[in-house]
Structure 1
Amino acid sequence: MNRFAERYGTVVLIAIAAGILIYAGAFAPVGLKLIDEVIYNAAAVSFADRGALIVENGWDRFGADALRINFLVPGPHGLASQYPPGAAVLGAPLQRLFGLQGLILLNALAAMATLFVTRAVARSAFGREDVALSAVLLLVLASFWVEYAFGIWPHSLGTLMVLIAFWAGLRGLAADPAAALRWAVLAGSVAGAGLLIRADTVLIVPALAAAAILFAPRPWSMIGAGLAGLAPFVALASWVNHYKFDRWNPLTYGLDKPGGVELSGHVPVILLVAGAFLCLAVARGLRWQPGRGPWILLAGAAAALALLVPPVRALVIAYGQGFFGLVVDAKPLPNFEPTEWNGVVYFWELPKKALGQNMPWIGCLLGAVFLPLTARERRVLILCALAAFVWTLPFILRSWHGNYGANMRYFLPLLPLLAVVGAWLWHRLADMTGAGGLVLGLGAIYAGGLAALWSVLHASGFDGAQQIMSTHVLTASAGIALAAGWGARRVPRLAIGTQFMFAIGVGLALLFAVQDIRYDRTNRQGTAIAAATFAGLPPRSVYYGRPELFPSFFARPDSHLAMPYAYRRDAAFLSEALDQGYRVYVEPEHLQQMLTLIPGSMPGPYQVSGYYLFHELLPPPRPAPDSPPPATDE
């Protein structure tokens, strides 16, 4: 395959990129999926129309909390999106030209670039064109990455920034000292720019710094150069948040509650990372290179600490539970929906999948643990492991799965790295066994048959295949891969078995990705049709309910969106809007409360599109003016 990849690899990537652009421009449904995308769209419209970071939405007129629609935060200048402004700034020109579809095109363009950067990472990591092309194909065909290439929230754009920073860090570790500093500045700058798009982009920085301590000839110079590249963007993010929220924290969402990106919610993570850096720095300073014995002693000491010190024990338990839920099996994750009789757990009506359930082939990556590695391969795998550990740590410790969605979108930036390692492992095993395409084809066919049989014979159907069967495949893949890594030289069939399980995992990942895209497309088509139907509501309208149906309202200064906040306070706001002559529309599930809390109000005509329905809320009838006394002849 290496010769094919050398001759036609670029052609294949261009064809895939062209397909992404054509689909985004001509076929992707232009609808909002959930509230997060409403906010991103609101910020982009505000910046496109007025060059402003402030979203109006009637706040200056009414000041009602319902107008915050969950994720707009009041600040010194008005309501602002809780999210960083980078996506709005970059998306504003496309928003002005193409409307809501412009934000989809922004993510599609980022996805197209991600294809080429993924190939560049694989080339730099392993120096093989077949691995580079296979990594791109794994990313496209055997992960849930493609779904976010056609979204409105900027996960695809954030993934590109993380991947470029990783690539620059990887190049810096292999470069001469002068070039290494330039690569480090680039890595820091891109990570900093990513901070203005998605706050979690900054999580790649500790991983790159740890890799510099471990592998760079001049680690502190390289770390300093990276921080020099990062610093201007951190300063800019701080200024932006001060303008929006009156806070200098570059990571804040402007909220008072702990968690999310508020540093107070991640003290254990910060302490853990700081302690790890201290240990690495001391070991590097002492030039200590422990053998197997000291590592065993260190592992034993860490285990004893975890057992004997309650805070450490609680941290280890939280990590174990979170890792299992986010990586292995999503069913135990916190959720308000009960387990169905057939064993499937639905999250907002979707059979949510952990990372390994979505991509069972990642279980085979454990086979790399015992394979003989070159120094270059070892460095790359350690860097990828550091990136994966640091990135997932805050999410795992909080078991935070991201609510609505069929997969673990917060892990999206790791998918290109997993694809690179997976492609390398596949070709490494193929070199050992001499088996390649045939095993891949047979495994993919077996995966299709396995999913079909489960869907027909098991009560849980295809949802269970995604959430139950996939867990068994993941576990089997990990077990066989570990055995193969340990004994492949003595029992070559173990290596072929790992390839076969890898191929099954790839086939299942493709089926699951298609289903995830189908879920996403169905949702967006419904909201897009409803938005087109409801765009004709009259001027001076207020809608109280689901804001995904009204993307056009943010371009209409006289119309406003509201979401339930507190019924009594919301009723006072809607009553004031009615008094000022606004037309008010309410979702059915909130209508009765408003009729009760606004005396004399009445339900008016309803609007319907597909399965979306809402009523007009009519104001109390005004008393007729006093009539003059009738005229008399006297």
Structure 2
Amino acid sequence: MGISSTTVQPDHSAAANWRAMTIYGGLALILAGVFLIAPAPFIIDGGIYLDMARAMANDGALAIAGNGGVEGAPALTKYLTHGVDGRVYPQYPSGYALLAAPFYKLMGVRGLILMNAGAALASIWLTWRIAAHFYTAEVARYAAIIFALATFILSYAFSIWPHALSLAFVLGSVYCAVAATKDSARLKQLALIFASGLLIGAGINIRVDVILVFPILFLWLRLFARPDDRLSPAFLLIGIVPGLMLASQLNLMKFGAFSPFSYGPSDGADSIERYIPIMVAGAALLVGAWLINTPKMARIAMGRFGVKTCAAVVGVAVLAGMLVAGGFLWKILYGAYVLVINLQAHDAYFQEGVERNAFGQLLFWGYAKKALVQSLVFLPLVIIPAYQFLRGKNVVGASLCLLAIAAPVVFYAMSQWHGGGSYNMRYFMPALPFIAILSAAGLQAITATGAFSRQTTLVIIVAAAIFYFLMQTVSRGSPALYAPAALYPQWVIAGVLSGLVVVFLYRSGSVRISQAAYCAALFALSYSAFINFSDFADDAKARAKQHAMAGAIAQSIADDALVLSRLPILLIEAEAGGAAVMIATDDNVAQSLAAAEAFEHAGRCVYFHNSTVAKLMAAHLPEGAIAPQPLWAGKRAFPGEPRLAFFTLASGQSRCAF
């Protein structure tokens, strides 16, 4: 069976079986995950999203905190928040709070997990539907399976993070746009395009990078799907406006800035000002693409001047662009290399917790984080449909997928943004379904002449499992090989697959080559699945431990106390019980001292979370102001755990003791 450039309708019985399997299997997975996964975030980002949902559900507020109701206390800020007029606002878009509040009201933290799991299931279904518009029913099924099992969607399906939710909006928008190009009724086409824009606008209120879908669809419509249609891109833009207005209004209420992309006062990598030149250049590109029918102009030029002359002109233009913006282009290329291939080469900025160990291995909060190909070892399968695209086969479908993959890679490559604390490249979540679609198309092309029996297929999967767990054993048993064994085997597998894919394209009729390519592809897919299921298990294990420690702390901390900390995710349960939390760092010592003084004056307990914070504050207090002996929360369950050590003011030592 070859790849088709048109939609092939599946037979009704097969489609019904596939839908039933997806629905019932997905619901079972959701219910199991929602009730089995610890209701706790993985890192501080998730803690802020939980705060947002809780504040909206309980108080109908955009602010997640104030001054704890204590006279004289400043705004009790945390990481990733800003204090504005005595209130604490998260930097993240508040649309998440609006959507998450009903789920939190219904089931608490597990409601947030339920929302994400439902969004992930919807994303799997949408991946299947989008693929079915451009490829065969078999490819569509492959795509959904690859996306669900061989990518890192699972880690975010049962998390307290917005990635799965925003992805559902991304895919919903793409699906509407694709459906519009397949519909013959003009009014319905425009309605679907408008709906696509509405979903982009709504998604911006969850994660601002959803805006990348707009240039993806705009360029796809103008260059590939409907180059003679200028009205559809205009309707796409109009559809985004309500969402942009909502985001702007929410940011006005939070920060006093009527901007859809504001993260509050900032001079860091999340500042919008540094992207203004890129936004202006991007806007100019989109306007040019809207005004000029590029495919038509290219056909006219090639007809009049010849293909070689036009190719030479394009080559000169590209060379001129490289000379003018060579530094910027190199920055993007190197950033893409770092994020896609080798995160160990990251050098763009310093981040606390990201450092090299004694063996020179770059570790992220103690673990070896993976670049994209080190999670998706099967990525070279994309080469096959990309090559066919260049030869004019299935141009419309492949172009959409390639644009959707390139956009987040280019955007985040500019700054080498790796996504902070996670096992994988979470910022590339919007690209995963489209990688899965193209990989499925590549796999089907190989299996047309090179598939094996079920027994042989099982042997390959088992071999991948054995090799993966062998590498894990080596990684965890040897500090010197910790990162190499966890990361570098993926390069070897992907390299072998890349070579076989290239040979397959050159000799696609060879059964032996096809079988070798199929073997490598299946091994890579299986290895990727084991990687991502292992990441999910590690994520769940870490969250379970943090949840247990948070519970132990909540049983010890006084309900009206103030805790100065750098580990807010361990204080979530205490906060739910009424305790106030503030982050204490070198940058806000004065505010932290003011908060401690105000709470002490009000007769409330003040705790300094572990020795790091206690030493920081003690340096600015009279000698002996902080009691030297720590108080241990959960000392039976976690004896000697430094994250459960608390210090208190000597003046309140007796009444604040555990």
Native 8 Å contact 2:197 2:236 kept in 1 = yes
Q: 2:134 aligns with which of 119, 122, 125?
A: 125
In 2: Cα distance, 1:621 partner to 1:54 partner: 30
Is 1:393 the counterpart of 2:418 in the alignment?
no
The answer to which of 117-126 and 436-445 deviates more is 436-445
Map 1:248-263 to 2 at 5 A: 248-260=258-270, 262-263=271-272
Residue 313 (structure 1) aligns with: 326
Q: 2:149 aligns with which of 125, 128, 141?
A: 141
Instruction: Spell out, residue by residue over 1:110-138, the C-alpha distance to the aligned partner (whole angstroms, 9 max, x if none).
Output: 11222221221121222x32222221211
CA shift at 1:557, angstroms? 5.4
CA shift at 1:307, angstroms? 4.5
Is 1:530 the counterpart of 2:549 in the alignment?
yes
Is 1:601 the counterpart of 2:614 in the alignment?
no
Residue 644 (structure 2) aligns with: 613
Residue 425 (structure 1) aligns with: 442
Q: Which amino acid aligns with 2:534?
A: Q
For residue 209 of structure 1, give the secondary structure of its aligned residue in structure 2.
Answer: helix
Residue 202 (structure 2) aligns with: 193
Residue 5 (structure 2) aligns with: none
Is 1:351 the counterpart of 2:368 in the alignment?
yes
CA shift at 1:205, angstroms? 0.7
Native 8 Å contact 1:70 1:563 kept in 2 = no
Is 1:562 the counterpart of 2:583 in the alignment?
yes
Residue 503 (structure 2) aligns with: 483
In 2: Cα distance, 1:305 partner to 1:414 partner: 30
Q: 1:236 aligns with which of 224, 235, 246?
A: 246
Native 8 Å contact 2:40 2:543 kept in 1 = yes
In 2: Cα distance, 1:373 partner to 1:7 partner: 35
Native 8 Å contact 1:66 1:570 kept in 2 = no
Native 8 Å contact 1:168 1:183 kept in 2 = yes
For residue 22 of structure 1, give the secondary structure of its aligned residue in structure 2.
Answer: helix
CA shift at 1:75, angstroms? 3.0
Is 1:224 the counterpart of 2:234 in the alignment?
yes
CA shift in 2, pair 1:149/1:318, >3 Å:
same
For residue 230 of structure 2, give the secondary structure of its aligned residue in structure 1.
Answer: helix
TM-score by length of 2: 0.87
CA shift at 1:480, angstroms? 2.4
Greater relative contact order (CA < 8 Å, ≥ 6 in sequence): 1
In 1: Cα distance, 2:462 partner to 2:236 partner: 47
Residue 170 (structure 1) aligns with: 178
In 1: Cα distance, 2:290 partner to 2:195 partner: 23
In 2: Cα distance, 1:366 partner to 1:68 partner: 48
TM-score by length of 1: 0.90
The answer to which of 475-484 and 526-535 deviates more is 475-484
In 1: Cα distance, 2:14 partner to 2:414 partner: 41
Residue 95 (structure 2) aligns with: 86
For residue 362 of structure 2, give the secondary structure of its aligned residue in structure 1.
Answer: coil
CA shift at 1:254, angstroms? 1.0
Native 8 Å contact 2:374 2:491 kept in 1 = yes
Residue 181 (structure 1) aligns with: 190
Residue 581 (structure 1) aligns with: 603
In 2: Cα distance, 1:88 partner to 1:582 partner: 30
Identity value in percent: 22
CA shift at 1:276, angstroms? 3.7
Residue 464 (structure 1) aligns with: 484
Instruction: Spell out, residue by residue over 1:433-465, the C-alpha distance to the aligned partner (whole angstroms, 9 max, x if none).
Output: 455756644442332243345456685657534
CA shift in 2, pair 1:345/1:19, >3 Å:
farther
Native 8 Å contact 1:601 1:618 kept in 2 = yes
Map 1:319-398 to 2 at 5 A: 319-334=332-347, 337-340=354-357, 344-371=361-388, 377-398=394-415
Instruction: Spell out, residue by residue over 1:25-45, the C-alpha distance to the aligned partner (whole angstroms, 9 max, x if none).
Output: 321111221111111111111
Residue 592 (structure 1) aligns with: 615
CA shift in 2, pair 1:60/1:153, >3 Å:
same
In 1: Cα distance, 2:247 partner to 2:258 partner: 8
For residue 74 of structure 1, give the secondary structure of its aligned residue in structure 2.
Answer: strand
For residue 615 of structure 1, give the secondary structure of its aligned residue in structure 2.
Answer: strand
Native 8 Å contact 1:76 1:243 kept in 2 = no
Residue 156 (structure 1) aligns with: 164
Residue 444 (structure 1) aligns with: 461
For residue 343 of structure 2, give the secondary structure of its aligned residue in structure 1.
Answer: coil
Residue 505 (structure 1) aligns with: 524
Counting matched residue pairs gives: 617
CA shift in 2, pair 1:356/1:558, >3 Å:
closer
In 2: Cα distance, 1:496 partner to 1:100 partner: 48
Q: 1:551 aligns with which of 572, 575, 584?
A: 572
In 2: Cα distance, 1:357 partner to 1:163 partner: 24
In 1: Cα distance, 2:313 partner to 2:75 partner: 54
Gaps of 5+ in 1: 623-634
CA shift at 1:95, angstroms? 1.2
Native 8 Å contact 2:42 2:543 kept in 1 = yes
CA shift in 2, pair 1:299/1:466, >3 Å:
farther
Gaps of 5+ in 2: 2-9, 654-658
Q: Which amino acid aligns with 2:626?
A: M
CA shift at 1:69, angstroms? 0.6
Q: Which amino acid aligns with 1:602?
A: I
Native 8 Å contact 2:147 2:432 kept in 1 = yes
CA shift at 1:99, angstroms? 1.7
Q: Which amino acid aligns with 1:100?
A: V
Q: Which amino acid aligns with 1:496?
A: Q
For residue 548 of structure 2, give the secondary structure of its aligned residue in structure 1.
Answer: helix
CA shift in 2, pair 1:93/1:580, >3 Å:
same
CA shift in 2, pair 1:343/1:477, >3 Å:
farther
